[in-house]
Structures are given as structure tokens and as C-alpha cells.
Amino acid sequence: MQNKLLLIFLVFFVCACKTKEKEEKTEKQLVEAFTEQYRPQFHFTPEEKWMNDPNGLVYHEGTYHLFFQYYPDDIVWGPMHWGHAISTDMVHWEHKPIALYPDGHGLIFSGSAVVDKENTSGFGKDGKPPLVAIFTYHSMEGEKAGRNDFQTQGIAYSLDNGATWTKYEGNPVIGNEGIRDFRDPKVFWHEGSQSWVLVLVAGDHARFYTSKNLREWEYRSSFGKNQGAHGGVWECPDLFPLFVEGEEEPKWVLLISINPGAPNGGSGTQYFVGEFDGNRFISDQKEPKWLDYGTDNYAGVTYNNVPNDDRIFIGWMSNWDYARDTPTKKWRSAMTLPRRLTLGRHKGEYLLANYPLPQIATLAATELLGSTKISTEGAQTFSIANLNQSQIRLRTASKDFELVFKNDMGETLELTMDSNSNAFLLDRMNSGQVNFQPEFGNKKHYMPIEFLTDGHYEIDIYLDWSSIEVFLDRGLLAMTDQIFPSQPYTALEVHNNDGEEAMELVFVKKMPSIWP
Ligand code: FRU
């Protein structure tokens, strides 16, 4: 009897220890979460594992949805799901369970989502409009068998604001007639023709389809075989109207991601400005224009259904050249800051600007440094405890200067404005860990400045643990790059090489963490 009691006690004791161990582990994991080395503090990242493109960006009933390409089992690309997060302010995000899982038709590649307000699809119930997701099915079996028709388009709907999804039993809704790269549908409601419009990419061009019910699609036209950049395959299109600042008429903007073939290597996003009549997109633009000259803003698209027709863009902050190799362990890659797109005419050219939403700037409440003047041909060094969680603004008419970020390890990140070569350059070659892949730290990143304002303009910089986003002239020119310094930068040197124009360091502010 006594032995039995002893045994029961021992079993109980071992179990209690195990539970305690488990609890401690969970607590430890929680403490570590979002404080790991390189974890961005004010950019979206998944809690763990691999993420690429933003998908299904849609606003509905007070919620901004961010779905994304997600592989829950590893920190490298694998069978794709749609991960999910939500936000009410586009600043703070709540991670949600996976929204879409692969099924018999294939993996779930990139796509979009709409609010079907009039229930044209018939998926709505009891007066509740459905959210409808439109995505690419990628059949691994088809690809392995050497077929060309392994990418098709499917749809799914949600009646609980994106929490749970039902795949349509009639999938796929657009089959494939033998085009190898046939993917990434973006759908939107076109007022003029009272139709849904779908744009997808087919290797070296975009294709347009229309529908009355989101289920049956009719091919209308194509664009781009002989226009823009063609150094790689076209991916992740987006099409939307934007009013031109100071003009009455809107223009249509077509975003096309391309990989490889970007100006500084690997993945990048070009855009075309033109007209769209509901069936056909036309643009007389022959040469590509680039949304961002950094190497880490890819597959970006805009939100559907945002109040006031605001165009809000989010990109994947990585590059297929080295996305799989970046030195993070628990998760891989982040999204860019959400940016507002605007269209203007500069020196006769239509140019698309992208600039962080105002609520991002106002997040930074603590000023680390106030307004300071840097004289003509002057230089100053500012010591700041942690620049890798900061917002920096300068104002100047100087087109000859250098900004150098430094840490105690002798690592430097250099930004140079050079009027001789008419360029802005970002040098991350000695910025920290760079050797994980040959393409990452092998050259300076170059951005032409021919369209930059003559006169005073602002330089806005957002530095997070593992990224820098630079905006010149309110986003007329943008550069987004990943960086992996061994320690945060603690000094900023400003060298003004201009003999006539002074510079003002307007402020350095601390960016708070968006994670609880
Ligand atoms: C772009 C992309 C898309 C595709 C997805 C797959 O980065 O290649 O074309 O749908 O990623 O994850």
C-alpha cells in the first residue's frame, strides 16, 4: 500500500515538474518574441517562419486585413498558405490563424480580396456581403510532371470578416491554356463599366478579364509585351486610378513587379501611367519607371475598399536574390511601412510618389535631437543610443552630402547625394552582416535624382533593426534596403559638401515598438 502511495506521489511530482517546465518555456518564448536580434520593432513580421508577398489587402468594417504568402513549417519558402493579420490603424497588427490552406488544386499563391457589397457572387447570406479572395492555385504535381498549365485562379469567401474561409466548389474560375507563369490576380470593382476587373500576369505581359459575379471571367485584353522592363518574369500586378495633383482628370497606374531585372539587381517594382476603359489598359510609356530604387521592396500592391479612395501600398521588404539567406532564425522577412501613393507631374513626367502614412510619423513622440544646422561645407557627428529604431528628417537644397551611420563595431551605412553623377547612393557593403549571400553586399545602390525638386526638399529616413527606408521629397524618390548591423548604430555623421546650401537636421525621433 505504502509503495503504491509513493508511486502515485512520484508520478504526480514528475507531472507537476513537467507542467512547470512547460509554463516556464512558454514564458521564455513570450519574453523572446519580438525582441530577437534583427526583429523589426515597427514593421510587420510574422510571429515565426517564412513570409513573402502581401496578399488580399482589403479594408472591411473598420479592419485592415493583411494576408501574406506564408509557409508555417520552415523559415525558407515552401508550400504556400495565406497567413493573416489585422489592424485598425495600419500601425499595430494582430496575428490571426492561417486563412487559406493548400488543397487538391494546389498551393495558394498570391492574389487579392474584395468586399462584394451587392452580393454579385451569391456567396453572401442574410444580407451580409461576403469578402471574396481571388488567388493563384499552383499545382506542384503539374509542375513536376513538366506541364505548362499548373497555375490556375481560384476563389474563396468569408462571411465573418476574414476569420474563416470557404473555397468555391467551382474552382478553378480561370483555367490555364498552357502559360507557364500565369498568376497573381488583382481584382477591383470598376464603376464605369459596372463590372469586376481582374488583372494577372502571364510571363512577359499583363492580362485583363472582366466578370459580373466573380465566378465567370471573360478575357478582354493584354498589355506590355513591348513596354517597360523585361529582365525577368512579371509578377504581382495592380491597377488603380489616381487623381493627378492639381489636375481634374485621373490617370490609371499599373504596378508590375519584376524578378530579376530591377535597377539595382534582383526583384523590383515598375509602374506604367496610362488609361483604362474597363477592358483595355494603354500607355505610351516605353521605358520603365520604378516605385522604389532599393533592393528590398517587392511584390507590393494596394488596398481595396479604403475610405476616401486612399491608395495604401504595402510591399514585401526582401529580394528573391537573397530572401532565403538573411540572418534571422525564428522568422524571415518583414513588410515595408504602409505608404500612401500619389500621382504628380514633375518636369513634364507623371511620377508616382510613395510616402509613409501620417500615423506612422506621429507614432514617434520622443525627440532625441532637435533642429540643428549644418553649415555649408560643414560636418557634425551626433551620438544617439540606438538609431535602429528612429525616424530622421533633414531639410536642404544641398545636392552634395553624406550621411553616415556608425556603430561600435566599425560598421557603417552610408547615404550619399552627389550632384556630379546626379545620383543618390546607398552603400551597405560594410553595414553589418553582409556575407550570407554574394548579391547582398556587393555594390552601392543607385537612384537617379533628375526629378528631384530644385530648391528645398525633405529627406525622411526610417531605421528599424534590420531595414532602412529613405524618402526624398515626400516620397517622390524612395529607397528601401535591408541591413543587418551586428549592433545598433549609435552615431550619425552629416557631411555637407555643398558650398552654397546649408542643411537642417530637423529632428531625430525614437520610434516606439508596435508590439505589446
Ligand atoms: C512573387 C511571387 C508570386 C507568387 C508568389 C509565390 O514574389 O513569386 O508571383 O504568387 O511569390 O510565393
pTM here?
0.94
Nearest to 129 by CA among 305, 309, 347: 305
- Look-up: residue for cell 495592380? 238
As a whole number of angstroms, the distance between CA 251 and CA 322 comes to 35
Cα separation, 131 vs 117, in Å, equals 9
Ligand 1 atom closest to the Cα of residue 109 is 10
User: Does 464 map to a domain?
Assistant: yes
Last-in-domain residue among 340, 356, 372: 356
Instruction: Tell which of 294, 327, 356 closes a domain.
Output: 356
Question: SS3 of 149, please?
Answer: coil
Best substitution site from 55, 108, 109 to test ligand 1's pocket, by max atoms within 8 Å of Cβ?
A: 109
The sign one gets for the Cα dihedral 435, 437, 439, 445 is negative
Pair (350, 369) in one structural domain: no
User: Ligand 1: distance of its center to the CA of 310 in Å?
Assistant: 25
**371 in the same domain as 326:** no
Ligand 1 centroid distance, CA of 447 (Å): 26
Burial 224-244 (b: 16+ CB within 10 A, else e): beebbbbebbbbbbbbbbbeb
Ligand 1 atom nearest the C-alpha of 236 is 9
pLDDT score for 17: 45
In a domain, 419, yes or no: yes
* Spacing, Cα 244 to ligand 1 middle (Å): 31
Best probe residue, ligand 1, of 49, 52, 136, 256 (max atoms within 8 Å of C-beta): 52
Residue in the block written with cell 507557364: 180
Question: Are both 122 and 245 inside the same structural domain?
Answer: yes
How far are the Cα atoms of 50, 109, 149, 422, 427 from residue 333, in angstroms, in the given order?
7, 17, 30, 32, 20
Pairing mode, strands 331-332 and 49-60: parallel
Answer whether 109 contacts ligand 1 (Cβ < 6 A): yes
113 neighbors 141 (Cβ within 8 angstroms): no
Domain assignment of residue 241, given as a range: 50-356
Residue 301, ligand 1, Cβ within 6 A: no
For a pocket test of ligand 1, which of 204, 234, 236 has the largest count of ligand atoms closer than 8 A to its C-beta? Answer: 236
pLDDT, one tens digit per residue, over 473-498 is: 999 999 999 999 999 999 999 999 99
Question: Ligand 1 within 6 A of 80 CB?
Answer: yes
> Does 69 contact ligand 1 (Cβ within 6 A)?
yes
Q: How many angstroms separate the first and last alpha carbons of the chain?
A: 52
Residues 467 and 500 in one domain: yes
On whether both 402 and 332 belong to a single domain, the answer is: no
Instruction: Look at residue 266 and give its three-state secondary structure.
Output: coil
Q: What is the pLDDT of residue 2?
A: 53
- Nearest atom, ligand 1, residue 80 CA: 12
* Ligand 1 lined by 319 (C-beta under 6 Å): no
Q: Is 44 among the domain residues?
A: no
Residue 89: what pLDDT? 97
Instruction: Give the span between the Cα atoms of 113 and 108, in whole angstroms.
Output: 13
**Helix, coil or strand: residue 393:** strand
Ligand 1 centroid distance, CA of 389 (Å) = 30
Cα gap 42→32, rounded to integer Å: 16
Q: What is the DSSP string of 200-260?
A: EE-SSSEEEEEESSSSS-EEEEEE-TTSS--SSEEEEEEEEEEEBTT-SSEEEEEEEEEES
Place of cell 512558454: 26
**3-class secondary structure, 309:** helix
If asked whether residues 56 and 170 sit together in one domain, one would say: yes
* Burial (CB count within 10 angstroms: exposed 0-12, middle 13-18, buried 19+), residue 148: middle
At residue 39, the pLDDT reads 98
Q: What is the pLDDT, as a whole number, of residue 516?
A: 86
Ligand 1 atom nearest residue 111's Cα? 10
C-alpha span between 365 and 370 (Å, rounded): 12
Same-domain status, 338 and 372 = no
Q: How far is the CA of 122 from the centre of ligand 1 (A)?
A: 29
Q: What DSSP assignment string belongs to 370-388? A: --EEE-TT-EEEEE-S--T
Atom of ligand 1 nearest to the CA of 184: 10
29 inside domain: no
Same domain, 117 and 169: yes
- Domain count of the fold of the chain: 2
Helix, strand, or coil here: 360? helix
- Identify the CATH number of the domain in which residue 443 sits: 2.60.120.560
| Residues 6 or more apart whose Cβ sits within 8 Å of residue 374 | 380, 494, 496, 502, 503, 504, 505
| 309 and 386 co-located in one domain | no
d(CA 216, CA 95): 33
300 in any annotated domain:
yes
CATH number at residue 275: 2.115.10.20
Task: Give me ligand 1 centre to Cα 10, in Å.
Answer: 54
Ligand 1 centre and the CA of 432: distance in Å?
28
What is the spatial order of strands in the sheet that 94-100 belongs to?
94-100, 81-87, 63-71, 49-60, 331-332
- Verify whether ligand 1 is closer than 6 Å to residue 110 (CB atom): yes
Q: Which residues partner with 243 through β-bridges?
A: 250
- Judge if the beta carbon of residue 414 lies within 6 A of ligand 1: no
Strand partners, 481: 468
Write the pLDDT tens digit of every residue in 235-280: 999 999 999 999 999 999 999 999 999 999 999 999 999 999 999 9
Q: Is 53 a catalytic residue?
A: yes
Ligand 1 near 304 CB (within 6 A): no
CB 488 within 8 A of CB 66: no
Instruction: Name the DSSP class of 4.
Output: H
pLDDT of residue 31: 52
- CA 165, distance to chain mean position in Å, is 24
Q: Is 324 exposed, middle or buried (0-12, 13-18, 19+ CB in 10 A)?
A: middle
Q: How far apart are CA 363 and CA 513, in angstroms?
A: 9
From 330, 356, 382, give the residue that closes a domain.
Answer: 356
The pLDDT score that the predictor gives to residue 508 is 98
| Ligand 1: nearest atom to the Cα of 233 | 9
Q: Are residues 186 and 98 in the same domain?
A: yes
Q: Is 53 in the pocket of ligand 1 (CB under 6 A)?
A: yes
Of the residues 69, 107, 143, 150, which should be mutated to test ligand 1's pocket, given the most ligand atoms within 8 Å of the CB? Answer: 69
Ligand 1, atom nearest to 181 Cα: 9
Do both 373 and 253 map to the same domain? no
**367-396 pLDDT per residue, tens:** 999 999 999 999 999 999 999 999 999 999
Distance 258 CA to ligand 1 centre (A): 10
List the residue whose alpha carbon is closest to atom 8 of ligand 1.
Answer: 235
Please work out whether the CB of residue 299 comes within 6 Å of at least one atom of ligand 1: yes
Catalytic residue among 53, 116, 400, 427: 53
Name the one residue in this structure whose C-alpha cell is 525633405: 458
| Statement to judge: residues 345 and 381 lie in one domain | no
The type of residue at 381 is: T
Q: What is the whole-number distance in angstroms between the Cα of residue 348 and the centre of ligand 1?
A: 34
Is position 388 within any domain? yes
What pLDDT score does 364 carry? 86
Cell 468594417 sits at which residue? 61
- To which H or E segment does residue 53 belong? strand 49-60
Query: What span, in angstroms and rounded, lies between the C-alpha atoms of 315 and 318?
Result: 9
How far, in Å, CA of 382 to CA of 426, rounded? 20
Burial category of 474 from C-beta neighbours within 10 Å (exposed 0-12, middle 13-18, buried 19 and up): middle
Which portions of the chain are predicted below pLDDT 70? 1-32
Query: What separation in Å is there between the alpha carbon of 320 and the centre of ligand 1?
Result: 10
- Is the residue at 37 inside a domain? no
Domain annotation covers residue 15: no
